[in-house]
Amino acid sequence: MLIEGLEPLPAGTLDTLRTAGTASVTTELFKLGIRHSFMTGPVPLDPSYVMIGEAVTLRYVPSREDIDTNENLGKPTNPQRYTIERMAPGEVLVIDSRGDVRAGSLGEILAARMRALGAAGFVTDGAVRDAAGIRATGLPGFARAAHASANITIHHAADFNAVIGCGGIMVRPGDVIFGDSDGVVVIPRALAAEVAKAAAAREELEAFIKRKVEGGAPLLGTYPPGEQTLREFEAQRKS
């Protein structure tokens, strides 16, 4: 496991998150003062997948021809290979690709290795190569685009498990990464349990509101819910 020195997340945090969606999570983070938590750019390779796990980070910088060769790519000290080979079950690889989509950040074989290790998925603000092959591995993945060129034509893997930016959002190792059909939200680790509980409750409330609206209720007093709507919701929960 690459993430060291962190207290375990409270039991059930990630399972609770699975009952929510990224939209509810961003709302609850906003209420806690976190206004910017949703990545701009990365979209799911397969919208049917949900990705939830703890962040392992990898930082790319621009490549250089005398360093980024096939020989160096295969060395055990290569930060990309080193990081992927040591991923633990439930971890999400978050790659800072500087928003550059002129080459793949990773491809099918690396995704297959992460899948075999039990990783929860990956997200890059760059591109992927072998997009169809990655989908076929069953590993959830999020990226800005697809590009067939190898990563070393544009990217140099500089380091791992440092604070990075991805999709315009700061990511710290151990942050909780949640991706669904909308995209990817970053949840600060210290807030994860609180946000998970609140977001799950919001999902339940908004399902109730949606049923009311579908039944003809006006938006005023229903969304956002007024006192009467909240009383009706609580009465339904108790019953």
In a domain, 209, yes or no: yes
Do 145 and 83 lie in one domain? The reply is: yes
In a domain, 9, yes or no: no
Do 153 and 224 lie in one domain? The reply is: no
Do 151 and 224 lie in one domain? The reply is: no
In a domain, 14, yes or no: no
Name the residue range of residue 76's domain: 35-187
Do 68 and 163 lie in one domain? The reply is: yes
In a domain, 205, yes or no: yes
In a domain, 1, yes or no: no
In a domain, 25, yes or no: no
Cβ neighbours, 10 Å, residue 194: 15
Do 54 and 168 lie in one domain? The reply is: yes
Do 168 and 206 lie in one domain? The reply is: no
Residue 107 has pLDDT above 90, yes or no: yes
Q: What is the pLDDT of residues 37-70, one digit of tens each?
A: 999 999 999 999 999 999 999 999 999 999 999 8
Q: What percent of the chain has pLDDT over 70?
A: 99
Listing DSSP states for 27-89 in one string gives: HHHHHTT----BPSS-EESSTT--EEEEEEEEEEEE--TTT--HHHHTSTT-HHHHHHHT--T
Do 220 and 154 lie in one domain? The reply is: no
What is the arithmetic mean of pLDDT over 99-108?
98
Do 109 and 160 lie in one domain? The reply is: yes
Do 70 and 120 lie in one domain? The reply is: yes
Buried b (16+ CB within 10 A) or exposed e, 19-33: ebbbbbbbbbbeeee
* CA–CA gap between residue 52 and residue 177 (Å, rounded): 6
Residue 4 has pLDDT above 80, yes or no: no
Which of 44, 58, 67, 51 shows the shortest CA–CA distance to 2?
58
Q: What is the pLDDT of residues 183-220, one digit of tens each?
A: 999 999 999 999 999 999 999 999 999 999 999 999 99
Residue 113: DSSP 8-state: H
Do 165 and 215 lie in one domain? The reply is: no
* CA–CA gap between residue 238 and residue 112 (Å, rounded): 46
Q: What is the dihedral of CA 155, 161, 163, 164, to 10 degrees?
A: 20
* pLDDT in the model for residue 74: 80
**What domain count does the chain have?**
2
Backbone angles phi, psi at 208, to 5 degrees: -65, -45
What is the arithmetic mean of pLDDT over 63-82?
90
In a domain, 13, yes or no: no
In a domain, 15, yes or no: no
**Domain containing 76 — which CATH number?**
3.50.30.40
Q: What is the pLDDT of residues 116-158, one digit of tens each?
A: 999 999 999 999 999 999 999 999 999 999 999 999 999 999 9
* pLDDT in the model for residue 1: 52
What is the arithmetic mean of pLDDT over 160-166?
97
